[in-house]
Structures are given as C-alpha cells and as structure tokens.
Amino acid sequence: MHSWTGCEAICQPEVALAPFTWYKLGGPAEWFAAPRNEAELSLVLQRCAENGLPWRILGGGANLLVRDQGVRGVVIRLDGETFCGAGNNGSGRRWALQPNADGRSVTLGGGADLTRLTKHAAMNGWGGFERLAGIPGTVGGAVTMNAGGRWGCIGDLVRSVALVDPDGRQRTVSAAELGFEYRRTRVGERIVSAAVLEYTPDEPRRTWQRYLEVWNAKYASQPPVSERSAGCIFKNPPGQSAGALIDRAGLKGARRGGAEVSHRHANFIVAQRDATAADVLALIDAVRETVARECGVVLELEIVVW
Ligand code: EPU
C-alpha cells in the first residue's frame, strides 16, 4: 500500500503516458504525479522515497519513447502556472512572458513550453532564441539535455538554473556549473524547476525574420510535426551526421511493423497509425547494426527510452 499523505490530489495510479509523448506510443505509468509548485514537488519526492518508489520526470515528451509495458514507479510532470506559465519574474505576474528588470533576460518555469517561448521571443525582439525555432519540449527538458541544432543550443542562452534535488532541496546553479556540452549537462538526477535565459535585444522585424529562416530550413529537411516522431533518434558522432550515415547505408524507408525510417531525414523514425513502441525499438536496433556494419560507426541514442 502506498501512502500519498498531503499529495493525494495530485497523484494518480495507472495513467496512460502515450498522450504525453509526441510518439503517442507506450504503456502507462504505475503512478503519475503533477505537482504545481516547489513545495508540492518536494512533498512528492519525499513520499516517493518513503514508499521506496523510483521516479522519473516527464518533460514535453518530444524526445521520449515509452515502452509498451509502461513504467514502474512514479512519473512526475510539472504542472500549473508556477512551472508551466511563462515563469515568475518577481513582479507576481505569470503567464505573460514578461522580461526581467534588466531587460535582457527572462525567468521561466521548468514546465514552460519551448515552442511558445521561441515564437514569443522572435516576435518581441529577444535576439538569440531563434536558434531554438522548431524545437518542441519544455524548458526543463531542453535544459536537461541541452537541446539544440545546427544554429545553436539552449545552453548558449542559460544564465542560471533552479534545481530540486531528489531529497527535495532547492538550489540555484550557474550555467558554468551545469557544464553544457553537445546534448549533455550535469543536471543528472535533479529536476529543473526554473531557468533564467538571456537574450540580446534586437528589432522584432529582424528576430522574426531569423526565426522564420531557421523554421523554414528545418521544415524543408525534416518530417513535418504532424508525423509522429521523437526528433533525431541518434546523436551525431563527432564530425559526422547520423542522418547522412543512415541514409548512406540505404535505410530510408526501412520498416519494422508500423515504424519507418523517414524518407525526409534518415535520423527520424516515424510511427504509422499501427505502430508500437516495440516496432520503433526493433527498427532502432536494425539501423544501429546496419550502420555499424556498413559505415563502421556505432550510433548512440539521443532519445530517451523508458
Ligand atoms: N543528410 C543526408 N541524409 C539525411 C539527412 C541528412 O544526407 O537523411 C545530410 C544533409 O544533407 C546534411 C547533413 O546530413 O549535409 C546534416 O543534416 P542536417 O543539416 O539535417 O543536420 P543533422 O546533423 O542531421 C542536426 C540535429 C537536429 C537539428 C538539425 C538542424 C542532431 C543529432 N541532429 O541534425 O536535431 O534539427 O541539426 O539544426 O544533433 C534533434 O536533436 O532531435 C534534431 C532533430
């Protein structure tokens, strides 16, 4: 028997995870917790420890594949205005994306939507955010994995990050302490509850133009967001493109069940209507084996598999 004293209202058993992911695949979470502020988050983590339940944090589900059998333990998803609104800049105003008093930074909750943020930034002359155009997810998820692309990554913009330790303690760390590298940080087992991102004030006309350029370049070379995927499946090996290697190995259009290597960009595996998570995993294995054999490179997963 599990005890959720004090957080019964935000913890539920057996919640389907597929709707929370871009793949729309996979089974349920044994428990699902949706804390709305740091105090609730700390309490959930405390109860997880007391119940001996492992926990994981769900971001925007844009870089995630959940196995068909689902996951044991607790899936935590930051919820509510404090986490998902634009953030609290100290003025007490939330949801509206207000810049901080310095006029060059903005404070965002870990659950804030990245797509909404980058669009708002581009429309308001917050220069630098254009590099993240077309990258879905939450601020917390993007910071944790240093999401990015050819034009740059979120680590380029981070000033500081508020983290919650597994034991519920809160701490703010600088970007330097987090050691942003290619799709890698030292966030580790901690939860990003908020982040301060910096921008370079510019003319809205110019930031919007650059945003459109990045968006259009991605649109032209990647499957549309209407196709179910988790973005790039593999990390780029140093100095090489995983997509180009998979393409060179002749794998565009390769299938396992309802999973298919995208014809548009070979580092995307798209899920057809009848796909299962097992299909995607089988195709990942097949791609990795073929590329290792044909190109002599062992590809490393970029997506997270639960
Ligand atoms: N290419 C092919 N065939 C393909 C795909 C790519 O020949 O099927 C070639 C392209 O023609 C190009 C080169 O490979 O010469 C690189 O391709 P692209 O510019 O599309 O970039 P990428 O390295 O494959 C990276 C990120 C993407 C990001 C894009 C653009 C990784 C693993 N991928 O892709 O990130 O959107 O740059 O910024 O870092 C993601 O992380 O989910 C993701 C999609």
- Note the pLDDT tens digit of each residue in 68-108: 999 999 999 999 989 998 644 444 444 467 899 999 999 99
User: Across-strand partners of 109?
Assistant: 194
Q: What is the mean pLDDT of residues 254-268?
A: 98
Q: What is the mean pLDDT of the chain?
A: 94
Q: What is the pLDDT of residue 90?
A: 46
The DSSP secondary structure of the chain, one letter per residue, reads ----TT-GGGEEEEEE-GGGSSS----EEEEEE---SHHHHHHHHHHHHHHT--EEEE-SSSSEE--TT-EEEEEEE--HHHHHSS---SSS--SS-PPPTTSSEEEEETT-BHHHHHHHHHHTTEETGGGGTT--SBHHHHHHHT-EETTEEGGGTEEEEEEE-TTS-EEEEEHHHH--BTTB-S-TT-EEEEEEEE-EE--HHHHHHHHHHHHHHHHHHS--TTSB--S-SBPPPTTS-HHHHHHHTT-TT-EETTEEE-SS-TT-EEE-TT--HHHHHHHHHHHHHHHHHHHS----B-SEE-
Which residue has the least CA distance to atom 27 on ligand 1?
Answer: 149
Q: Which tokens is 132 given?
A: 């993240």
**Ligand 1 nearest atom to the CA of residue 243, by list position:** 5
* Cβ–Cβ < 8 Å for 105, 197: yes
Q: What is the pLDDT of residue 86?
A: 62
Which residue has the least CA distance to atom 35 on ligand 1?
Answer: 149
Q: What is the pLDDT of residue 266?
A: 98
* Cβ–Cβ < 8 Å for 38, 83: no
pTM, full prediction: 0.93
| Of 216, 232, 264, best ligand 1 pocket probe by most atoms within 8 Å of the beta carbon | 232
- Note the pLDDT tens digit of each residue in 93-149: 444 678 999 999 999 999 999 999 999 999 999 999 999 999 999 999 999 999 998
Provide the Cα torsion 77, 78, 84, 90; round to 10°.
-170
Q: Name every protein residue with a CB atom under 6 angstroms from any ligand 1 atom.
A: 149-151, 218, 221, 231-232, 235-236, 241-244, 247, 265-267, 302
Pick the range with the lowest mean pLDDT from 42-46, 165-169, 204-208, 242-246: 165-169
CA distance 135 to 78: 19
β-pairing, 304-305 vs 64-65, is: parallel
Within its chain, how far is the Cα of 204 from the centroid?
27
CA of 126 to the centre of ligand 1 (A): 26
Q: Is the pLDDT of residue 196 over 80?
A: yes
- Note the pLDDT tens digit of each residue in 216-250: 999 999 998 889 999 999 999 999 999 999 999 99
Within its chain, how far is the Cα of 165 from the centroid?
19
- Note the pLDDT tens digit of each residue in 46-61: 999 999 999 999 999 9
Q: Which tokens is 264 given?
A: 């548009």
Q: What is the pLDDT of residue 171?
A: 95
| Of 146, 151, 267, 300, best ligand 1 pocket probe by most atoms within 8 Å of the beta carbon | 267
* Cβ–Cβ < 8 Å for 173, 160: yes
Q: Is the pLDDT of residue 280 over 80?
A: yes
